[in-house]
Amino acid sequence: MRNGVTIGQAAAYVGVTVKTVRHYHKLGLVEEPERDGSGYRRYGSAELLRLVQVRTLATAGVPLAEIGPLLDVDAEQFAVAVTDVGRRLTERIADLIARRDTLHRLADGDRALLPDRACAILDRMPGLGFSPAYVAAQREALVLARALVPEGFDGFLTQLEHGLDDPGYVDLTKRGWEAETWEPDDPRIEELATAMADHYLANPALLGDPASLEAWANAAGQYRLINNHRGDQAPISARLTALTESRLRAAGVRIPRR
C-alpha cells in the first residue's frame, strides 16, 4: 500500500479546496497520484510540493494557464517570467485603485462624472440664487460637454467661472430661466436675447478663449446634442438661447448652429 494522504487531507495541508485540487489536475498542473489498494488516491511529498508551488503562484496572481510552463523553466527564465507577472500585477493594481476611486466619487454624486473644478462651479450656483432645476440642467450639460467635446471642456469651465463672477451675467441667466413661465410670444424674450448678446459682446471673456471657441466651432454635431438637451422641457430657454446665438453670429462670433 502506498504511503500518503487523501485528497481532502492534501487540500487542507496546502490551504485549498478539494475542488481546487481537482481543477489543478484537470488543467494538468499537478499529476493525479495512483490509487492505493483501497482505491484511494494518495498524495505523497512530491504531489504536495507541486500543489504548494501551484497554489503559491496562483495566489501571487500568475494566471493558471502560465503556471505549468513556469514550473518547468530554469531559474533565469523563471525570474524573467515572475518579473513580467509583477509588472502586470502593478498595472492591475493601478486599475483597481482607479476603479475604487471612481466608486468613492460615485458615493459623492457628481464627482464620479465631473472633475472637482466643475463640481465647484455647480456648488456655487445655489448661493447665487439659481434654482435646483437650473443647477440640475447645468450638471447634465457639463457631463455631456466633458464626454462629447473634451478638448473644449476646460475652456467651457473658464467661461462659467467668469460668468458666475459677473453679476450682470448671473442676473440675465436667472431671468432667462425664469422666462419659462412666459408665453411663447412674449416680446420680453426678444428683448432678453438682445440684452444677453450685448452683454456677451461687451464682456468677451464670457464667450471663451480662441482655443475653446475653435473646439466648439469644430464640434457642431456635439454642440447641437448638448444645446438641445432638455429643450422639450425648457422650450422658452431653448428659444432664448437660439435668439442670443443668432445675434452673436451676426456680430461675427463663431458659434455652431443648433
pLDDT tens sequence across 154-181? 988 999 999 999 999 999 999 998 898 8
Whether 221 maps to a domain, the answer reads yes
DSSP state of 160: H
pLDDT tens sequence across 221-244? 787 777 766 656 678 888 888 899
Domain of 90 in residue numbering reads as 73-108
User: Whole-structure pTM over 0.75, yes or no?
Assistant: no
A 10 A CB-CB count for 180 gives: 15
Whether 115 maps to a domain, the answer reads yes
Whether residue 24 is found in the same domain as residue 134: no
Whether residue 64 is found in the same domain as residue 12: yes
Whether residue 1 is found in the same domain as residue 82: no
Whether 7 maps to a domain, the answer reads yes
Question: Which pLDDT tens digits describe the chain residue by residue (258 residues)?
Answer: 457 899 999 999 999 999 999 999 999 999 999 888 788 889 998 899 899 989 988 888 888 988 888 887 787 888 887 888 888 888 888 888 877 766 665 555 556 678 889 999 999 999 999 999 889 888 888 988 888 888 889 988 999 999 999 999 999 999 998 898 888 889 999 999 999 999 999 998 888 877 777 777 777 778 777 776 665 667 888 888 889 989 998 998 877 665
pLDDT of 1 reads 40
pLDDT of 36 reads 81
- 235 and 227 Cβ atoms separated by less than 8 Å: no
Cell of 64: 493558471
Q: Specify burial of residue 229 (Cβ count, 10 A radius: 0-12, 13-18, 19+).
A: middle
Whether residue 219 is found in the same domain as residue 171: yes
User: Maximum Cα–Cα distance for the chain, whole Å?
Assistant: 103
Whether residue 124 is found in the same domain as residue 225: yes
Whether residue 94 is found in the same domain as residue 172: no
pLDDT of 233 reads 65
Q: Where are the beta strands (DSSP E) in 57-174?
A: none
Number of structural domains found in the chain: 3
Residues linked to residue 41 through DSSP beta bridges, in sequence order: 35
Q: What is the DSSP string of 25-81?
A: HHHTSSPPPPB-TTS-B-B-HHHHHHHHHHHHHHHTT--HHHHHHHHTS-HHHHHHH
